Amino acid sequence: MQIAVTSQNRKTITEHAGKCRKFWIYDLEKGVVTGKRLVEVSMEQSLHASSGLLAEPLADINILITGGMGPGLHARLMQSGILPVITMEEDPDAAVTALLSNRLPRLPVPRHHYCHEHGDFLHLAS
């Protein structure tokens, strides 16, 4: 099992998952972290730019922890069998530890998302 955490500055959890290019990947066996490594994807491989398959370094993740994402990305991850987790926790290690013990506070998925690139709001149907 693998958990990815968005961390553009390599220290804290990034708030915009779609634009993030650096991720901490935690490897787990039987619910215990067995490894941690930093991976970086190109701008073209970012979650915002790629509408298809995830970049190779993220291809095997089961969970994505982030500080924020839009409803479209949330739905895309769910359809791919990846659990998206939005949290206010800023420390990647603390977030993974709290998630594994079912104590990580989660934020709801926003019903709309302002797309900075396109300059408009994207809405989910009710």
Tell me the C-alpha distance between 94 and 78, whole Å. 23
Specify whether the backbone of 50 is left (phi greater than 0), alpha (psi in -120 to 50) or beta: beta
Are 61 and 3 within 8 A, CB to CB?
Answer: yes
Q: For the chain, what are the domain ranges?
A: 2-123
Assigned token pair, 87: 């949290």
- Which of the four pLDDT bands, split at 50, 70 and 90, describes residue 111? low
Please give the model's pTM, rounded to 2 decimal places: 0.86
Tell me the C-alpha distance between 49 and 102, whole Å. 32
CA atoms within 13 A on the CB side of 33: 18
pLDDT digits (tens, 9 = 90+) for 33-66: 999 999 999 999 999 887 777 888 999 999 999 9
Q: What is the pLDDT of residue 48?
A: 85
Strand duo 112-115 + 83-86: pairing: unpaired
Tell me the C-alpha distance between 39 and 35, whole Å. 13
pLDDT digits (tens, 9 = 90+) for 60-98: 999 999 999 988 899 899 999 999 999 999 999 999 999
Specify the CATH superfamily of domain 2-123.
Dinitrogenase iron-molybdenum cofactor biosynthesis domain (3.30.420.130)
